[in-house]
Amino acid sequence: MKNLHLAHQTAFYSGKVRDVYTISDKWLVMVASDRISAFDVILTKPIPFKGQVLNQIAAYMLHACKDICPNWLIDTPAPNVSIGKKCVPFKIEMVVRASLTGHAWRTYAAGKRTLCGVALPEGMKENDFFPSPIITPSTKASEGHDEDISKEEIIANGLATSAEWDTLSRYALQLFERGQQIANRQSLILADTKYEFGKIGEEIYLMDEIHTPDSSRYFLKEGYEERQAKGERQKQLSKEFVREWLIQNGFMGKEGQEVPNMSPEWIQEISHRYIELYERVIGEKFTPIELSEAETMERIEAAMRNFNV
């Protein structure tokens, strides 16, 4: 929905999966598209209802965590639309990991024992849990790949002050603990996730989505320890299965590689997996809602009338 023209619109940005409209340099209208990305590349086909899934999980989680720190969200007038406060973002992502999986495991399997300046214990297997969650930040690239970065590099490069880092890391770990509690109630394990933060004046706000399948990895709690003891693959609900499919088909986002073709059956499978995660995490049946662009505009405009723009 890149063709919206909103009253008092002052800027527009199209990200990997979201289209963001700035209103009066004060508010953001964020439209979660059905686009899907992996390895920092937008894949060739949209995934039905993915935008609604992400938007509604994020809204649920932001509400459930609002006592931990301020967040940007004010209203969700349409299934795939959120409206909230515009923040000045920190150009880093706070990645919190409870287990050795995904990028952390690939780094570990390559023989490295530090990630983002954090020491990794010897003798771990894929999907083993760390003694306590670790923070492995990355840069937030406007284009191209995000890069691993350490706490020391963040402070040295002026991406956050030492005091800001202390607040960001405290918020991230508290949010992760809450996310684990919510997951546990639904017989899931939150294995890792990422958070983005920004500032309004001197106050730090939680931004964007949290605890969604695009930003998080969930294991099925039932049978986790048995599978781990036997060295079997963990059953998980996340976008990792898309990354694994891409790797199997020779794509990791590297120069010269082409995104493999996505069949209609595979696209439908991805959609089903996203909906499954919604229902597992939220604990409610997913209700697909399809609105025309005109209907979405009407809802946005009605919501914005309540704002002082």
- Which alpha helices (DSSP H) does the chain contain, by range? 50-64, 103-109, 151-156, 162-185, 224-230, 240-248, 264-282, 293-304
Q: Which residue has the higher pLDDT, 63 or 277?
A: 63
Which tokens hold the place of 42? Answer: 């937008």
- Residue 25: CB atoms within 10 Å: 10
Question: Which conformational region is residue 23 in: left (phi greater than 0), alpha (psi within -120 to 50 degrees), or beta?
Answer: beta
Q: Say which residues have a Cβ less than 8 Å from residue 91's Cβ, sequence separation at least 6.
A: 139, 140, 159
Q: Tell me what pLDDT residue 141 has.
A: 65
Q: What is the pLDDT of residues 239-262, one digit of tens each?
A: 878 988 999 999 998 888 989 999
- Which of 117, 98, 96 has the alpha carbon at shortest distance from 171? 96
Q: Say which residues have a Cβ less than 8 Å from residue 249's Cβ, sequence separation at least 6.
A: 260
Q: Tell me what pLDDT residue 7 has.
A: 84
Q: Tell me what pLDDT residue 146 has.
A: 77
pLDDT of 309 higher than 60 = no
pLDDT of 269 higher than 70 = yes
63-87: average pLDDT: 97
For 89-242, CATH number out of 3.30.450.20, 3.30.460.10, 3.40.50.261, 3.30.470.20 equals 3.30.470.20
Q: What is the pLDDT of residues 17-52, one digit of tens each?
A: 889 999 999 999 999 999 998 888 889 899 999 999
Instruction: Indicate the pLDDT class of residue 144, thresholds 50, 70 and 90.
Output: low
Phi, psi torsion values for 71, nearest 5 degrees: -130, 165
- Residue 181: CB atoms within 10 Å: 11
Q: What is the pLDDT of residues 105-129, one digit of tens each?
A: 999 999 999 999 999 999 999 999 9
